[in-house]
Structure 1
């Protein structure tokens, strides 16, 4: 709906012909149907497109064939995931993409946009930033797709970036972060910001945490709702907190306060596509901050950065 209301010219695509056709009729847009296990079919399906916004999670299994087809067809790739493995895939293809004039830009939703822009915002405040800790808050129930993506994220194990390298840290312990209502426990987790924050800022030491309201068991995912209700989204705003420590010991902290993540994601993704169509493109693997600047996150309505003591 957000894409339609933005006046972007777009088509939708998917693997289930009946479902795709039904949604296309509702939106009043053309549609395409192709599977992701046939490289030739994907390339045919991408013909004539400027960019692809991949929205179907979990993303890890579908991202590689879609990215490769985008590079082959000269089509920009965007998605809304936080899955670490997808960012690693994009980064590994960064040398191939520029020759095709293709931008690989995962993470144009929540939390990718706020966390990446916040990292760049804080890094600019100090000389020689060395450490960055970040936590995001998941205050409401998750959708089936998001819960499946969390399974992919958990599956990579506990990782940190240390002296520029990604290393396993199975003994990582929880830390406390303040999202505006007092410190709360946040557990370590490995998502795409381990790659994006490094790419956007060059900070060599990065650790990530999350405060999750509900623990989801794998067998419960199929029975989950498609997403939180409008009432639940309105009642639960999204927040990302980060702190950056410089080589001289200076510490700067800030948080982003914004609308619920399920509301923020379509707004940010469509804004990214609109800027892309207007010419804001850099080939190769990119992050929201490297393409659109640190201010992109707060360009989304009802979003603000709050500096913290």
Structure 2
């Protein structure tokens, strides 16, 4: 098995994944880059199926977590009229890899409109989002990551909008912002995150929220949970696919929540008519 954590994934993902498939090994990575996920789906699905292995990009905070949450909110359904994903960070201490990826990835970001992947408006839409505690109401900008591609690969969605609050972008764009400082014995930073997902289908609205600490540290248990399930044969089929396409979304989220130091997940009851 290959677990690729070495970005920028625009440079590393396809050659490593291709080598893994040729060697008969499963492949996972933690990419947030949309073009990477598209390339792996398009170029390696058939070879991976023939080899009997799985290629699962974006098994991480960006990409995978939102895909798992949206799929769990649908409760076994595969269609939604509208999906909104609001990622909220109380701050952002970027790693060197994040900075290198930002410089390397200049591709146009994609969203889903009328059921089709399409370019994000320029300038990107802005607004506010009522995050659950500890963030509260925050200004946001539409800033899609790889979750748009993972979700669109296996779910039929009419409209998908993915937001990030703007405050952590100031940290990201400031060259003086340091790398994540360890704040506990496990090396996690004190950064807090919220991933707030709202799914609408007809007159039905469902909301599911994940909270936790340190977007980089939480990626480790997410990708390891995927690796364990691949080793144990608890994936749905060979080929290239999204995290929630390959694995039971509710099961993965429950496993992460049981960890106690990964994420907390809560679902609101059906909010009909909202």
TM-score category (smaller protein)? 0.7 to 0.9
Q: Report Cα offsets for 1:2-28 as digits up to 9, x if no partner.
A: xxxxxxxxxxxxxxxxxxxxxxxxxxx
1:84 aligns with 2:34: yes
CA displacement at 1:288 relative to structure 2: 1.9
SS of match in other structure, 2:157: coil
Q: Report Cα offsets for 1:257-289 as digits up to 9, x if no partner.
A: 123222211122222212211122431112222
CA displacement at 1:205 relative to structure 2: 2.1
Select which of 101, 115, 120 maps to 2:71: 120
CA displacement at 1:103 relative to structure 2: 1.0
Q: Report Cα offsets for 1:77-109 as digits up to 9, x if no partner.
A: 110111111111111021232011121101122
2: distance between equivalents of 1:151 and 1:189? 16
CA displacement at 1:224 relative to structure 2: 6.4
- Which residue number in structure 2 is paired with residue 230 of structure 1? 183
- Which residue number in structure 2 is paired with residue 263 of structure 1? 217
Taking a change above 3 Å as real, the CA distance of residues 201 and 128 of structure 1, as seen in their structure-2 partners, is closer
2: distance between equivalents of 1:256 and 1:217? 26
- Which residue number in structure 1 is paired with residue 98 of structure 2? 146
- Which residue number in structure 2 is paired with residue 58 of structure 1? 8
What are the ranges of 5 or more consecutive residues in structure 1 without an aligned counterpart? 1-50
Aligned length: 254
Conserved 8 A contact 1:188-1:208: yes
Select which of 50, 54, 57 maps to 1:103: 54
1:167 aligns with 2:118: yes
Select which of 283, 290, 306 maps to 2:238: 283
CA displacement at 1:175 relative to structure 2: 3.1
> RCO (CA 8 Å, sep 6+): is it higher in 1 or 2?
2
- Which residue number in structure 2 is paired with residue 293 of structure 1? 248
Written as runs of structure 1 = structure 2, the 5 A alignment for 1:123-272 is 123-124=74-75, 128-139=79-90, 140-152=92-104, 155-171=106-122, 172-181=124-133, 182-212=136-166, 213-215=168-170, 216-217=172-173, 220=175, 225-230=178-183, 233=188, 235-246=190-201, 248-272=202-226
Greater Cα radius of gyration, structure 1 or 2: 1
SS of match in other structure, 1:157: coil
- Give the TM-score taking structure 1 as reference length: 0.74
- Give the TM-score taking structure 2 as reference length: 0.82
SS of match in other structure, 1:111: helix
SS of match in other structure, 1:149: helix
SS of match in other structure, 2:144: coil
2: distance between equivalents of 1:113 and 1:158? 17
2: distance between equivalents of 1:134 and 1:96? 32
Conserved 8 A contact 2:3-2:28: yes
Taking a change above 3 Å as real, the CA distance of residues 110 and 169 of structure 1, as seen in their structure-2 partners, is closer
